[in-house]
Amino acid sequence: MATAIEEPALERPAWSATLHEWITTVDHKKIGIMYILVALVFLVIGGAEAMVMRFQLLWAESKAVPPDFFNQVMTMHGTTMIFFAAMPILAGVANYIVPLQIGARDMAFPRLNALGLWATLFGGVLAYFSFATGGAPAIGWFAYAPLTERAFARSAATDFWIIGLLVSGVGSLSGAVNLVTTVLTLRCPGMTLRKIPLYTWMAFWANVQILFAIPPLTASLIMLLFDRLLGAHFFDAQAGGSPYLWQHLFWFFGHPEVYILVLPAFGMVSDVIPVFSRKVIFGYEFMAVATIAIAFVSFGVWAHHMFCVGMTRPADVYFAAASLVVGIPTGIKVFNWLATVYGGHLRMAAPMLFCFGFLSMFVIGGLTGIMLAVTPMNFQLSDSYFVVGHFHWVIIGGILMGLFAGLYYWYPKITGRMYSERLARWQFWLLLIGFLLTFGPMHVSGMLGMPRRIYTYPVDRGWELWNQLSSLGAFIQAPSYLIFVWNVIISLKKGQPAGDDPWDGWTLEWATTSPPPSYNFETIPTVRSRRPLWDLKHPDDPDWKYE
Amino acid sequence: MSSYAGSFAAPGGTGDVSPVARHSALTPAHVGMLIFLVTEVAFFGTLIMTYVYFLRQSTQGEPNPSQVFHLPMVIAASVCLFSSSATIHLAERALRQGRRHGFLGWWGLTIALGITFLLGTVREWADLIGTWGLTISRNLFGSTYFTLVGFHALHVTIGVITMAIVFGLAARRQITEQNMTGVEVVSWYWHFVDGVWVVVFTLVYVIGR
């Protein structure tokens, strides 16, 4: 029985030495952990902002918070959750897990890796520095021109927001260049492209998408900054510029961004479901190809966010059809996950519980997405609470559920300790119930005509009940995140020692100690199949005979 | 539960395994540079798209592109930049053959050509701003022109600085034919910057005139 390395009873290093070690580290695992911690802090901040909004919307004609503050909080909630919570947490998990899964000792460029982390954090701090100008920007997270122009957003808050996103964009890009290079060049002997674990495969394609999606955002933010600081005219209709172009450029980034976030979550689910069903993933090749299909198609659908802007009929038809096409590879994946579960010997530990949450909720979010892709329906529902309900359904029900599955799955590997299953179950059910109650009624209030982003609403519209249900749901959901954070902290100390391979896993990260040594593997492994640990545990019936 | 750490050490029984990445000619640095250039394609693609979209859309009148460009100087500067792609290639080849002085000569010439190009840009901008009063805020044409050409010039500047560093290292014999990776990736970057100028030149000075 080889447990995690026993710490010899040495003197603990001074806290300043520990701090120095973490700040200057270039170890992909430490950087990954710091990414996740940064993201959790921003997740709590963004969640608090959501609470402010739900509190304000509890009653019709409410004046619980000032209107401009509401707009600021609304802007920062979206910005924080996408750029400083979701992106870093996914970057963190990828940083930690991908080198282990491909049998590498570190990322291809360890110092660039550290740059990515610190740029992301610095970007987040800069964006929040906007509060110091007297209030955050009140422009919405997609920052439509001309509202963002100097004439309408007069304070420097918007400039801080722009610069914050530019800096964190540098972080995302350096992370993506690093990860893509790592997967292409540092795979262990025997791991051909067709033997890559699905999590690594999908994180890889999400990062390929970052390569193409973030630079256009960077370029558009620079143009906006030039408009604001140097008096340029890109989005100034009076001078011949075009607010419409901003919408195209932003969504050319913004739509792939959704898949940048969801593909790694797909990958986590694709690794967890087989291990917890005790079966090989159904249709590995189809999963792999469907990932590529999603990555490509997602770059051709951006203007379905813009049907109401008044595009041409052919453009409407094209973007509606292309958006529906995304449903095909995604559907293939859903059926493959279900087929993997089918007939399996299920273990309903927290990672699997969240996978089921993911499967059921993500399908519903996908279906409302198909509704919104149909242009005439979109004309009715655009910019209503239906849209808010839809994308939160995908982001929380899809991305976050999948992410929690992955985080619980790898928690014992990262810390060497087991999380508390009881707390995890509390978190799951509070999250699920709160989530259904928050975002379900939003579909109704949206259909009843409630526009998104409004500060308050009149009494006689029949929206009050639905808003109160949403707020109640939000207040149920909020503790679930705190329970997660608490579980992460308390299990570090009180969790049972997990051992190297608590789930009887099949991919290479389970072949090393928990937590892994700084060099990951004593000897670089050689693999012959997609489940190298299965081969090792079952020499009489190895996978490579059949793949 | 047993640990599998180290269990992969024994090479026995893995006869037909082909180590994938190890024997590739491309090191992580090469692949990293190529992938970085992919992001640059997306970045310049956006600026170029924007330039096309706003071509002749400026509503604030003069100065406009048909008046301001002084082509002979632009063409001369462009010839310098384009020929620097050839000189950097010759430099690379000289180093690969172990001809250190040949390398330093061609590499130095490449730097000189890059600087000449930048001086041409300085001259052109002085003319545009001084004579024509065209600035980034004057009209939409100025906004798009200075942004697109400016970001290209910024990339040329970064290239010149990087090449100067490589030149210094090679002069001190810290870069030789034994470790050419730096030289190779910098030259790929330089070819890319040249390639962007082919598109920008055609768009700004030929089509957009």
> Mean of the pLDDT values across residues A226-238?
96
Residue A83 covered by a domain: yes
pLDDT for position A123: 97
Instruction: Residue A187: list chain B partners with CB under 8 A.
Output: 20-21
> Mean of the pLDDT values across residues A515-537?
94
Q: Are the beta carbons of B1 and A212 separated by less than 8 Å? A: no
Residue A74 covered by a domain: yes
Does B5 have pLDDT greater than 80? no
Return the residue in A233, A244, A246 with the most chain B beta carbons within 10 A, the one to mutate for interface testing: A233
- As a whole number of angstroms, the longest Cα–Cα distance in chain B is 80
> Distance between CA A12 and CA A6 in Å, rounded?
14
Q: Count other C-beta atoms under 10 Å from residue A318's C-beta.
A: 16
pLDDT for position B59: 87
> Distance between CA A425 and CA A364 in Å, rounded?
22
Spell out the residues 6+ positions from residue A292 whose beta carbon is closer than 8 angstroms to its own: A205
Return the residue in B3, B16, B51 with the most chain A beta carbons within 10 A, the one to mutate for interface testing: B3
Residue whose token pair is 């090191």: B27
> Distance between CA B115 and CA B113 in Å, rounded?
5
Instruction: Residue B1: list chain A partners with CB under 8 A.
Output: 1, 499-502
Yes or no: say if A174 and A117 are a contact pair by the CB < 8 Å rule.
no
Residue in A181, A234, A510 nearest the CB of B31: A181
pLDDT for position B60: 84
pLDDT for position B19: 43
Residue in B5, B54, B139 nearest the CB of A513: B5
Instruction: Residue B40: list chain A partners with CB under 8 A.
Output: 215
Q: Are the beta carbons of A186 and B3 separated by less than 8 Å? A: no
pLDDT digits (tens, 9 = 90+) for A315-348: 999 999 999 999 999 999 999 999 999 999 999 9
Residue A1 covered by a domain: no
pTM greater than 0.90 (yes/no): yes
pLDDT digits (tens, 9 = 90+) for B12-63: 444 334 444 444 568 999 999 999 999 999 999 999 999 999 998 888 888 8
State the nearest Cα–Cα gap between A414 and chain B, in angstroms: 16
Instruction: Residue A185: list chain B partners with CB under 8 A.
Output: 21, 24, 26-28, 31
Q: pLDDT band at A11, cuts 50/70/90? A: confident
Return the residue in A111, A172, A181, A520 with the most chain B beta carbons within 10 A, the one to mutate for interface testing: A181
pLDDT for position A1: 41
Q: Are the beta carbons of B5 and A190 separated by less than 8 Å? A: no
- Report long-range pairs for A285-291 (Cβ below 8 Å, ≥24 apart): A285/A194, A286/A332, A286/A336, A287/A198, A287/A201, A287/A332, A287/A333, A287/A336, A288/A194, A288/A198, A288/A201, A289/A329, A290/A329, A290/A330, A290/A332, A290/A333, A291/A201, A291/A202, A291/A205, A291/A263, A291/A266, A291/A329
pLDDT for position A338: 97
> Mean of the pLDDT values across residues B197-203?
97
Q: Are the beta carbons of B39 and A233 separated by less than 8 Å? A: no
Beta pairing partners, A451: A384
Number of domains observed in the structure of chain A = 1
A433, exposed or middle or buried, with CB in 10 Å at 0-12, 13-18, 19+? Answer: middle
pLDDT for position B24: 55
Residue in A231, A242, A528 nearest the CB of B137: A231
Domain extent, residue A451, equals 25-545
pLDDT for position B15: 38
Residue in A181, A192, A212 nearest the CB of B42: A212
Residue in A185, A511, A526 nearest the CB of B28: A185
3-class SS of residue A497: strand
Does B179 have pLDDT greater than 50? yes
DSSP, residue by residue, A81-112? IIIIIIHHHHHHHHHHHHHHHTT-SS-S-HHH
Residue ranges of domains in chain B, CATH in brackets: 27-54+70-207 (1.20.120.80)
**Between chain A and chain B, how many beta carbons pairs sit less than 8 Å apart?**
176
ipTM of this complex prediction, to 2 decimal places: 0.93
> Distance between CA A60 and CA A464 in Å, rounded?
6
> Mean of the pLDDT values across residues A227-248?
95
pLDDT digits (tens, 9 = 90+) for A496-508: 999 999 999 999 9
Residue A8 covered by a domain: no
Supply the mean pLDDT for chain A. 95
Residue in A108, A524, A533 nearest the CB of B4: A533
Instruction: Residue A511: list chain B partners with CB under 8 A.
Output: 4-5, 7-8
Residue A15 covered by a domain: no
Buried b / exposed e over A436-464, threshold 16 CB at 10 Å, is: bbbbbbbbbbbeeebebeebbbeeeeebb
Residue A7 covered by a domain: no
Higher-confidence residue of B10 and B55: namely B55
> Mean of the pLDDT values across residues A155-165?
96
For A452: left if phi > 0, alpha if psi spans -120 to 50, otherwise beta; the answer is beta
CATH number of the CATH domain containing A336: 1.20.210.10
* DSSP letter, residue A65: S
Residue A18 covered by a domain: no
Q: Are the beta carbons of A234 and B39 separated by less than 8 Å? A: no
State the nearest Cα–Cα gap between A240 and chain B, in angstroms: 5
Q: Are the beta carbons of A536 and B137 separated by less than 8 Å? A: no
Higher-confidence residue of A547 and B129: namely B129
> Mean of the pLDDT values across residues A36-61?
96
State the nearest Cα–Cα gap between B184 and chain A, in angstroms: 17
Beta pairing partners, A417: A497
